[in-house]
Amino acid sequence: MLGNNLPSHNDVIQLYKSRNIKRLRLYEPYHEVLHALRGSNIEVMLGIPNSDVKHIASSGNMQDALDQIPGRPDQSSIRIVVSETGWPSAGGFGATTDNAATYLRNLIQHAKTGTPRKPLPIETYLFAMFDENNKNPELEKHFGLFSPNKQPKYQLNFGTSDISAETNVTTSSLISEM
């Protein structure tokens, strides 16, 4: 959360609730955010920083832990999760509001139906909830689904409603990031 113009944590939680957003992903355990989430019934996923992924994936302890899972599922029961994806609306070549909206609309349609081999909804985290004015380079500032004033940047249809009325209907398995 690298912006000095973002809504308060409590305002963001109220926006999530008003838009029926059921889940979010945090990149760090921000105590203020976790406190604001208390009692909200919003599910939280805590992500692993990219810099730690290689170490975790290559750790022998991690493989040992996976091998010890009782009733470990076979590959056919593993769910696909797109951990984060998005398209910037400004700040670089091809980064326009129209391109970002098209990318997100196509992603939402694809996430609802899955792949030919796994025709099930794909859990997908949209990056990010708000534009963040303190990020660098310029391109990184423009991934938000909402402007810092909480107004939607795109008209996105999540199946039973759109982002201007309700974001992230749970049946679509789409999740926003805070």
Contact 140, 91 (CB under 8 A): yes
How far is it, in rounded angstroms, from Cα 166 to Cα 164? 6
Q: Which of 170, 145, 169 is nearest to 155 (CA)?
A: 145
3-state helix, strand, coil in the chain (%, to 5): 35, 15, 50
Active-site option among 22, 132, 153, 177: 132
For residue 42 the two structure tokens come to 């919003």
Instruction: Decide if 140 is catalytic.
Output: yes
Instruction: Decide if 132 is catalytic.
Output: yes
Active-site option among 22, 43, 54, 84: 84
Instruction: Decide if 112 is catalytic.
Output: no
Amino acid at site 15: L
Active-site option among 112, 135, 150, 166: 135
Instruction: Decide if 84 is catalytic.
Output: yes
How far is it, in rounded angstroms, from Cα 30 to Cα 149? 21
Active-site option among 112, 140, 150, 166: 140
So which residues are the catalytic ones? 84, 132, 135, 140
